[in-house]
Amino acid sequence: MTNLVLLFISTVLINNLVLVNFLGICPFLGVSGKLESAFGMGAAVTFVMTLATTLSWLIYHLVLDKFDILFLQYVVFILVIASLVQIVEMFVRKFSPALYQALGIYLPLITTNCAILGAALFMVSKNYGFLESVIFGFSGGVGFSLVLMIMAGIREELKFADIPKAFQGAALTLITAGLLALIFVGFSGLVSA
């Protein structure tokens, strides 16, 4: 149990997918303009990532490993993610129109979110067990949402700042992300691995 809690904390704060592993940078730069959309994107990613790592773990260990076809893993993982996103989208639309309204536009974007595939690949390379994989997927999503929302909060404030022309937009966002990454380095002593 302690293990799982530590895994959660270290995935959210220390090995943050966005700021340490550079996964999911595209939505991180694209959707972090407004706090509200950042929350929607974060929720959608957390949801899909938890399901994707769970499902990938099952397929990897019960099918690919068993039949010795590991070389197919990239093709299989991306198909799992793409179809998962599709199913989740249809499911949410049918059963929870309110949630669909909130997540709707973010769902299709998730297929090309490298954080999802990245989480699945990390899970394999770190040899996590089943329960660990589920927690890893969930906490990866939480870490992503956390950083995305911090970033959105900062950018909402920056709108009113006087910024040199060349730095407006992407350049400033990247530098802000850099400073944020520097802050997150401070968490690295939190859990001794």
Partner 1 sequence: MNKIIKGLWAEHPIFRQLLGMCPTLAVTTTAVNGISMGCAVIFVLTFSSLVVSLIKKIVPNQVRIAVYTVIIATFVTVVDIVFKAYFPAISKSLGPYIPLIVVNCIILGRCEAFASKHDVKSSLIDALSMGLGFTWGLLVLSSIREVLGFGTIFGLTVMPKGYDPLVVMILPAGAFITLGFLVAIMAKLEKR
Question: Which region among 25-33, 41-49, 93-101, 141-149 touches partner 1 (by CB under 8 A)?
Answer: 25-33
Can you tell me the distance from the alpha carbon of 142 to that of 43, in angstroms, rounded to the nearest whole number? 8
Least separation in angstroms between CB 181 and partner 1: 4
Q: At 57, give phi and psi (nearest 5°).
A: -60, -45
In angstroms, the CA 73 to CA 109 distance is 22
Nearer to partner 1, 2 or 125 (CB): 125
Candidates 97, 129, 178, 186: give the one binding partner 1 (CB under 8 A): 178
Q: What token pair was written down for 38?
A: 């950042």
Give min distance, CB of 175 to partner 1, in A. Answer: 4
Distance CA 38, CA 49 (A): 16
Yes or no: say if 63 and 150 are a contact pair by the CB < 8 Å rule. no
Q: Of 66, 67, 75, 193, which lies in the binding site for partner 1, with binding defined by CB under 8 A? A: 75
- The crossing angle, in degrees rounded to 10, of helices 114-125 and 35-59 is 40
Residue whose CB is less far from partner 1, 130 or 167: 167
In terms of CB distance, is 125 or 127 closer to partner 1? 125
Cβ at position 2, least distance to partner 1 in Å: 27
By CB under 8 A, tell whether 113 contacts partner 1. Answer: yes
Q: Which helix (H) or strand (E) holds 32?
A: none
Verify binding: residue 118, partner 1, rule CB under 8 A. Answer: yes
Q: What is the dihedral of CA 68, 72, 78, 79, to 10 degrees?
A: -80
The footprint of partner 1 (CB under 8 A) covers 19-26, 29, 71-72, 74-75, 78-79, 82, 111-114, 117-118, 121-122, 125, 164-175, 177-179, 181-182, 185
